[in-house]
């Protein structure tokens, strides 16, 4: 799958903000303010799309208006990168309103994670544009008192340099602590970090391939649609979200979504599997998850890496979709073998 590679993000450039799914900006304005403070300190300018700071119940705005925000930001010559405020559950509502030719013809960085998976895969399929599974405004960029260093390092490596990204070591520490945003407890102290145990290889092996994937269940929204990306011969990654802030995604429910992917033939055709650190999964949950993954993949010999810094548990990398990656269990190596952006 050949994708257009967006141009790099430079200091002084403008970042456009959109909310294609949930509308949490007006509910947690201090997170928006903190993100703007963090990003302007790094030398970036901020520009908000018309509906990016609105709320209409469980979404930011009507679907067509959310789609128009993306068009606005892709068309805006001042904007060099587009970043989502947060995920949610309803990015799929805007697909039928998107002008994928417009997006292709005005290529630039587009980034977010979780439910934004839907847009990443659709844009790859319909616009042939590389997008980036990475930090959002309210969550990672709104971190107090500053963006976590590992998150910032790989944001810059992926988006601000044309050098090969290279090896991605596991972060030294991580956190899933949730300090209640509604009570602004997140503004009282930094979240507590836990020392990492490092990568876990649930199956040994070595493999190279283009990386695609995203958040379960957002991936599944596209099954059987024109927006589905064929994962044959790809390295797939899976991000396991929270069910709600501070609560894990039930293992039994996750199993049902993985069964969907199995029925689609995904596990039979991929070349490798990466599983991001699951949100609020304790050791017992991980044991159950490992058994489930083994059930769907036991007939295959591709490598399976668990505990990557991808998705809902902080810190996270910025992952260029469609980039060639390497999985090598013998050398405990996960590497991105190309640059994330172009000059």
Q: Which of 19, 160, 312, 329 is catalytic?
A: 312
Does residue 120 carry a catalytic annotation? Answer: no
The confidence score (pLDDT) of residue 1 equals 87
What's the rounded mean pLDDT across residues 208-225? 97
**pTM for the structure as a whole:** 0.98
pLDDT at residue 215 tops 90: yes
Query: Average of pLDDT values for 190-197?
Result: 96
Cβ(204)–Cβ(241) below 8 Å: no
User: Are 68 and 195 within one domain?
Assistant: no
Sign of CA dihedral 190, 195, 197, 198: positive
Q: With left for phi above 0 and alpha for psi between -120 and 50, is residue 332 left, alpha or beta?
A: left
Q: Which of 159, 190, 212 is the last residue of a domain?
A: 159
Does the annotation mark 221 as catalytic?
Answer: no
Q: What is the CATH number of the domain that holds 294?
A: 3.50.30.60
- As a whole-number percent, the residues of the chain with pLDDT over 70 amount to 100
Do 98 and 144 fall within a single domain? yes
pLDDT tens-digit series, residues 226-261? 999 999 999 999 999 999 878 999 999 999 999 999
Query: What is the rounded CA–CA span in Å between residue 6 and residue 101?
Result: 15
Q: Based on the fold, state whether residues 176 and 247 are members of the same structural domain.
A: yes
Distance CA 220, CA 224 (A): 9
pLDDT tens string 109-158: 999 999 999 999 999 999 999 999 999 999 999 999 999 999 999 999 99
* Whether 178 and 138 share a structural domain: no
pLDDT at 224 over 90: yes
How far is it, in rounded angstroms, from Cα 264 to Cα 297?
13
Model confidence pLDDT, tens digit, residues 47-73: 999 999 999 999 999 999 999 999 999
* 207, 231: one domain: yes
| pLDDT, mean over the chain | 97
Token digits for 57? 């119940």
- Tell whether the model's pLDDT for residue 208 goes beyond 90: yes
Residue 99 and residue 212 in one domain: no
Judge if 123 and 179 occupy the same domain: no
In the listed set 159, 186, 219, which residue is the last one of a domain according to the structure?
A: 159
Comparing CA positions, the residue from 132, 19, 152, 156 lying closest to residue 84 is 19
Query: For position 66, what pLDDT does the model report?
Result: 98
Where are the alpha helices (H) located in 160-272, listed in sequence order?
251-263, 266-269
Looking at the structure, do residues 184 and 321 belong to the same domain, yes or no? yes
* 147 and 197 belong to one structural domain: no
Q: How many domains would you assign to the chain?
A: 2
All residues at 6 or more sequence positions from 132 whose CB lies less than 8 Å from its CB, including other chains: 109, 110, 111, 158, 159, 318, 319, 320, 321, 340
What residues contact 117, with CB distance under 8 A and at least 6 apart?
91, 133, 213, 214, 215, 218, 219, 239
In a domain, 342, yes or no: no
**Number of DSSP helices (H) and strands (E) in the chain, helices first:** 8, 18
The CA distance from 228 to 270, in Å, is: 15
Please indicate, yes or no, whether residues 107 and 185 belong to a single structural domain of this protein: no
In a domain, 224, yes or no: yes
What pLDDT shows up at residue 281?
A: 96
Residues 278 and 176 occupy one common structural domain: yes
Given a cut of 90, whether residue 303 has pLDDT beyond it is: yes
pLDDT at 45: 98
Give the Cα separation of 46 and 63 in Å (integer).
23
* Domain range for 28: 14-159
Of 108, 132, 159, the last residue of a domain is: 159
Sign of the C-alpha dihedral computed for residues 35, 63, 247 and 245 taken in this order: positive
Same domain, 70 and 173: no
| Active-site choice (226, 244, 282, 343) | 244
DSSP-derived 3-state class of residue 7: strand
CATH classification at residue 88: 3.40.50.10740
Q: Does the annotation mark 312 as catalytic? A: yes
* Tokens standing for residue 306: 């668990």
Active-site choice (60, 114, 171, 207): 114
């Amino acid at each position: 799958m050949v994708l257009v590679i967006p141009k790099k993000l430079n200091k002084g450039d403008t970042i456009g903000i959109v909310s294609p799914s949930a509308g949490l900006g007006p509910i947690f304005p201090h997170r928006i303010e903190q993100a703007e403070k963090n990003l302007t300190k790094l030398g970036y300018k901020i520009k908000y799309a018309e509906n990016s700071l609105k709320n209409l119940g469980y979404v930011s705005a009507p679907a067509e208006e959310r789609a128009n925000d993306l068009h606005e930001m892709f068309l805006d010559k001042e904007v060099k990168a587009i970043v989502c405020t947060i995920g949610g559950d309803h990015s799929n509502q805007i697909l039928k309103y998107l002008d994928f030719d417009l997006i292709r013809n005005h290529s630039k960085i587009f980034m977010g994670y979780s439910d934004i998976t839907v847009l990443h895969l659709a844009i790859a399929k319909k616009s042939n544009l590389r997008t980036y599974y990475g930090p959002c405004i309210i969550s990672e960029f709104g971190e107090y008192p500053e963006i976590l260093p590992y998150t910032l390092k790989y944001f810059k490596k992926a988006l601000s340099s044309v050098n090969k990204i290279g090896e991605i070591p596991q972060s030294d520490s991580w956190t899933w602590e949730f300090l209640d945003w509604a009570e602004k407890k997140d503004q009282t102290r930094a979240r507590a970090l836990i020392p990492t145990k490092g990568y876990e290889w649930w199956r040994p092996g070595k493999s190279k391939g283009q990386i695609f994937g995203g958040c379960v269940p957002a991936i599944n929204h596209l099954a059987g649609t024109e927006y589905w990306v064929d994962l044959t011969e790809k390295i797939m990654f899976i991000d396991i979200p929270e069910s709600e802030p501070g609560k894990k995604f039930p293992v039994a429910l996750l199993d049902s979504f993985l069964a969907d992917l199995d029925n689609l033939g995904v596990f039979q055709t991929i070349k490798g599997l990466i599983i991001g650190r699951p949100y609020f999964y304790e050791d017992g949950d991980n044991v159950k998850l490992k058994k489930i993954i083994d059930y769907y993949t036991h007939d295959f010999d591709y490598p399976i890496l668990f505990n990557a810094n991808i998705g809902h548990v902080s810190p996270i990398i910025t992952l260029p979709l469609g980039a060639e990656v390497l999985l090598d269990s013998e050398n405990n190596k996960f590497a991105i073998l190309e640059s994330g952006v172009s000059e």
